[in-house]
Structure 1
Amino acid sequence: MKPLKNEAVPLILLGGTLCDEQLWQPMLNTLSVSHVQCLTLQDEECAQAAAERLLAQLPARFCVCGFSLGAIVALQLQAIAPQRIAGLALISVNPFADLPQNAQPRRTAVEHARALGFEAFITQQLWPRYVAGQRQNDADLRQNIIAMAQNCGHEVFARQTEIAISRIDRRDALTKLTVPVLLVNGEEDPICTVEHHRAAHHAAPSAHWQTLPGVGHFVPLEAPQLTAKVLHSWLNEVLLCELTH
C-alpha cells in the first residue's frame, strides 16, 4: 500500500471501551501514514469533556477516526469544532443516545468486571458479542482484547462507561458535514449494528459506507487489512480535498 504523507492533516485514532493503541497496530502495519496519534479515552466521564480535552491538545486541523466509543467522541469533536476536522471516519458506531434503561446494567457490568477480573469478565460476558462467529475460537485475538482491558484498568472502564451512558444523539453533526466521511461496520456486529450505520448514513448520505462480511464488532482487529484499505482511500480523499480548498 502506497505510503501517505499527511503532515498537514494528521490522523487521530480514538479507541473504544477498554482499548489502547494495540487496537490499531495490526491495521497500521498495512496503512503507512507519516503522522498518526493513537489515543485512549481514559480521563473524562462524558463525550463533551473528552472532546474539549482533545481539542486543547490536537493540531489546528486533523482528520479523526473513532472506533465504537471513540466514534461517539469523534462525533462530538465534529459537533463542537467542525472547522478543525478535515475528515471523519466512524468504525462500529452507534449515533443514537443511550437508552435510560441501559444505565444500571452498564454500571453493574463495571462491578462484575471488578469482581471477576477482566479475563473472566470478557470471556464469559463480552466475547460472544465482540467478534464474528468464525473468530469465536481465536484465542490469540481474545487474549489481545483482554490485555488491552487489563492495560486500561477498572477505573478507566468506569469512566468510559459513563461516556456511553451520557452520550447524546449526534446525527445532527453528520447532517452538516462537508468533509469526506467514512462509515465502516462488521456485518455480524450485534453491538453497533447495520441498522445503526444505516441511520448514520441516512444523516450523511454522501458518506462512503462499507460493511465488512464475516466481521463482528472489533473491526480493526478482526479485519486489519480491509480496514487499512478503506481508510487509505478515505485519507487520499481527505488529502485531495485539503489541497483543492
Structure 2
Amino acid sequence: MAIEGLSNKPWLLLHGTLCTGAVFEGFLDALDVANSARTYVTLDRPSIEDYRMDFEGLANDTIVCGFSLGAIVAAHFADSIIADRLILFGLNPYADDPAKAPSRHALAQDVQTHGGAEALRTRLSGVFGPDPDTTRAAIIRMAEVTAPLIGAQTQLALSRPGALLALKRAVMPVLAATGTHDQAAPTPQGQAAAQSAPNGQFRTLDGLGHFALLEDPNTCATVVRNWQEALNEHL
C-alpha cells in the first residue's frame, strides 16, 4: 500500500558520480512514485554553488533525495531548501579528504582515456545485495553513459566544503541511510549528518554497500517507509 507523504508528492533527485537516474528507479518504483513526479538533477557543474538554482522555486511538498555525490550537493543546501523531506543515501557530509585527490584524478584520467565502463570494471569489488553481478552491470552501464561528466564531477567532489553546518540549520525532517558495508561513506559519516540536523534520523541498510539503492531497492524503500510512518505518528 502506498504510504501517504511519499508516493503522492514530487521528488527532486540527485544521483552520484558516473550515475544516471537509473540508480533511483527500483527504489522509486517500490514506493509507487509516478514517473511524472520524478525530476532529476544532472551533476554536470564543478562547484556546489552552481546547483543553487536547482533548489529554487520548489513546491513546498517536494521530497529531495540524493545519492553519494548527489547527497552531498543536497546536504549543502539543507538550510535553504523549502521542501517536505530530505533523504540522503551514502552521504559523506565532510569536506573531501585531500588524501583522496590522487585516486579521484586517476579515475577521471581512466574514464577520459578508456571510457566509464572500462574504468569502473576493476574498481567494483565492494558490491553487495542479493544479485551483485546485476548491480555491477547496472553501475557499468551508467558509467559509460555519464563518462563525459567526470571532469566536472571530480572537481565538484574535490572542492566541496563540509555540509554539517547546513544540516544543523535544516528545518525539514532529514533521513540519512547508509549500507553497513559502505566503504565509500561509512556509517559514522551518515550518523554525523543525521545528528547534526534538528529533525534528523539515521538508518542502517543491513548487508548493503555504497550502491544500496541498486543492490536492494526494496530494502531501501522499506527503510524510508518506516521512517515516514514514524514521522506520521508524531504529526
Asked whether the two chains share a fold, i.e. TM above 0.5, the reply is yes
Q: 142-151 or 7-16, which moves further after superposition?
A: 7-16
Q: 8 Å contact 1:16–1:41 — kept in the other structure? A: no
Deviation at 1:69, TM superposition (A): 0.5
Greater helix fraction, Structure 1 or Structure 2: 1
Deviation at 1:47, TM superposition (A): 1.5
| SS class of match (2:209) | coil
- The reply to whether residue 127 of structure 1 matches residue 124 of structure 2 is yes
Gaps of 5+ in 1: none
| SS class of match (2:77) | helix
TM-score, normalised relative to structure 2: 0.87
Gaps of 5+ in 2: none
Q: Tell me what 1:37 maps to.
A: 38
| SS class of match (2:84) | strand
- Pairing partner for 1:100 from 95, 98, 101: 98
| SS class of match (2:27) | helix
Q: 8 Å contact 1:3–1:33 — kept in the other structure? A: no
- Pairing partner for 1:170 from 163, 172, 182: 163
Q: Tell me what 2:187 maps to.
A: 194
Amino acid at match of 1:98: D
Deviation at 1:139, TM superposition (A): 2.5
Q: 3-12 or 93-102, which moves further after superposition?
A: 3-12
User: Root-mean-square deviation (CA), in Å?
Assistant: 2.6
Q: 8 Å contact 1:179–1:238 — kept in the other structure? A: no
Q: How many angstroms apart in 2 are the aligned matches of 1:143 and 1:240?
A: 40
Deviation at 1:140, TM superposition (A): 2.0
Q: How many angstroms apart in 1 are the aligned matches of 2:6 and 2:177?
A: 21
Q: Tell me what 1:48 maps to.
A: 49
Deviation at 1:59, TM superposition (A): 3.6
Q: 177-186 or 66-75, which moves further after superposition?
A: 177-186
Q: Tell me what 1:221 maps to.
A: 214
- The reply to whether residue 147 of structure 1 matches residue 129 of structure 2 is no
- The reply to whether residue 179 of structure 1 matches residue 172 of structure 2 is yes
TM-score, normalised relative to structure 1: 0.84
